[in-house]
Amino acid sequence: MGKLENWVEKQWYQGNPSGWMSALKPLSMLVSMEARRRLKRFHRRRQIPPVPVLVVGNITVGGTGKTPLVIALVEAAHQRGLTVAVISRGYGGTTTDYPQVVRADSNALEVGDEPVLIARRTGAPVILNPDRRAALDYAIERFNPQLVISDDGLQHYALPRSAEVVVIDGQRGLGNGQCLPAGPLREPAERLKEVDFLISTGGGWAGAHPMLMHPAGVAPVAGGEIQDLVAFQRRAPQVHAVAGIGNPKRFFNLLNLLGFSIKPHVFPDHHAYRAEELHFGDDLPVLMTEKDAVKCAPFAEPNWWALPVEARLPDGLVEQMLDRALNGETA
């Protein structure tokens, strides 16, 4: 994480803003006004989706844990026998070739780490296009899905939707409550009153359903079978912990809870790794997030490992989300 990015996040989430940040509040007021205007326009011109569309998004910048929830929803829909397509912007990727179907073997540097991770974990087609409505139309034409799940896209109001799920980082919350650039919010906090489901990761949030990240084991970054986490921790109690995600502290805290002694290494979100960046001058294992692993797999070394996680939610909640989307009105 760069020094400027780190400084900005401290201003957003740790209070006592500097004079520079306070001076940005007039711009934040304009962002807030524009967000309210766009939302009102969306309600006036609301479109009915041609198939059920479930949007999983957030109102803050940075990572909140959406991807594991998207994976859980796709897997639950598959268990029902439904055909599912996922649409995504592909943030962090270099491609400009849209629309594009992401597969398990797609290049994560080109199409983005999250779409590749979703494709690998679920087997569902992931359609890449910054224009979410165009992605939806392409998904319907190409795959004829019974359900479309949008990974992010809450503020993309050209996209018709049947239900909305918002994920909040329960530890960081909404920061100072200001819209960009003086705060981390994409929209005013009042937007949360309109969504169908509010999910909190990593901590409690009033009115939100809790979601826990449950480690599924450890997996070689180069590919191979998932191994038992307890056995791995016993033979490797100290590791280099690598995270290039929106909130790396969440990953590091999880490793500490699992009993690891860590040497943390923070990289920017969606970082394009080079092999030499992960050489730390000793023989300790390197343990990284699954999202980072999809980008490091082509040059992975034997002692590099990933920590796959599964979203754990209250009983029946994932089914309720699917029901809300599937029972909504369609054209």
Residues marked as binding for ATP? 60-67
Alpha-carbon dihedral sign for residues 77, 83, 89, 90: positive
Q: Is the preceding peptide bond at 115 cis, omega within 30 degrees of 0?
A: no
Q: Phi/psi of residue 57, each to 5°?
A: -140, -165
Q: At what angle do helices 113-122 and 66-79 cross, to 10 degrees?
A: 30
The torsion defined by the Cα of 163, 169, 173 and 176, in degrees rounded to 10, comes to -100
Phi, psi torsion values for 64, nearest 5 degrees:
-130, -10
Say which residue the tokens 């590919």 belong to.
Answer: 223
- Binding site listing: 60-67
Number of residues in the chain: 331
Pairing of strands 209-215, 197-201: parallel
